[in-house]
Amino acid sequence: MRFNDAIIGLVLIVFALVAGYATRDFPQIPGQSYGAALFPRLLCVGFAVCGLLLIASGMRQRATAGAWLDLDDWARSFSGPLTLAITIGGMVFYILVSESLGFIPTAFLMTASLLLRLRGRWISSLAIAAMVTMVIHQIFYKLLLVPLPWGVLEPLVF
C-alpha cells in the first residue's frame, strides 16, 4: 500500500498546520518570552519543510511512471485486507470488552479467531487458543501479579 510521496507530503503539511494551530493557547513560562509552544512549532516547521520536499519528489515520481497509490499483492487480494481487519478488529474488541467480559473469554475469542483465519483448522485452533490464553493468564496473573480482569468469571473465583 504505497502512496505517492506527494500525497504523504500533503498530509504532513496539513498535519503541521493543524498541530501548529493547536499551540496558540499554550502558555509561556512565567518570566520568559517563550514557552510550551516553542518546541512543537519548530517541529511543525520541520514537518512542513519535509512535506514540501516529499511533494517535489512525488511530482518527479509521477512524471516518470509512478501511480498515486501503488497496491502490493496483499492489498489487491481479498484475503490480505480481511486478515488485517480481523487482527486489528481483535485488538479493538479486546480494548472494548475485556474489562466487562474478563481476560480469559476475550483473549480466547481474539486468539481463536485470528488462528482460525490464518490456519483454517477448527479443533486445533480452538485448542491452541484455549491453551495459550490459560498459560498467559497463569504467568501474568499468578507469577507477575498483573491484575488481569476476571469479568464474568468473577463470581466463580471469589
Q: Are 23 and 37 contacting, i.e. CB atoms less than 8 angstroms apart?
A: yes
133 in contact with other proteins (CB under 8 A): yes
Size of the site for other proteins (CB under 8 A): 67
Nearer to other proteins, 54 or 63 (CB): 54
6 in contact with other proteins (CB under 8 A): no
Return the residue of 60, 67, 68, 88 that touches other proteins, per CB under 8 A.
88
Strands in 20-158 per DSSP E: 69-70
Return the residue of 81, 134, 138, 152 that touches other proteins, per CB under 8 A.
81
Give which of 99, 97, 95, 90 is closest to 154, Cα–Cα: 99
Return the residue of 10, 62, 83, 153 that touches other proteins, per CB under 8 A.
83
Shortest distance, position 125 Cβ to other proteins, whole Å: 9
Residue that is written with C-alpha cell 486489528 in the block:
88
61 in contact with other proteins (CB under 8 A): no
Distances (CA, A) of 82 to 12, 20, 79, 111, 118: 28, 36, 5, 16, 11
Shortest distance, position 63 Cβ to other proteins, whole Å: 18
Strands 2-3 and 69-70: antiparallel
Nearer to other proteins, 14 or 46 (CB): 46
115 in contact with other proteins (CB under 8 A): yes
Give which of 155, 156, 153 is closest to 103, Cα–Cα: 153
Shortest distance, position 34 Cβ to other proteins, whole Å: 8
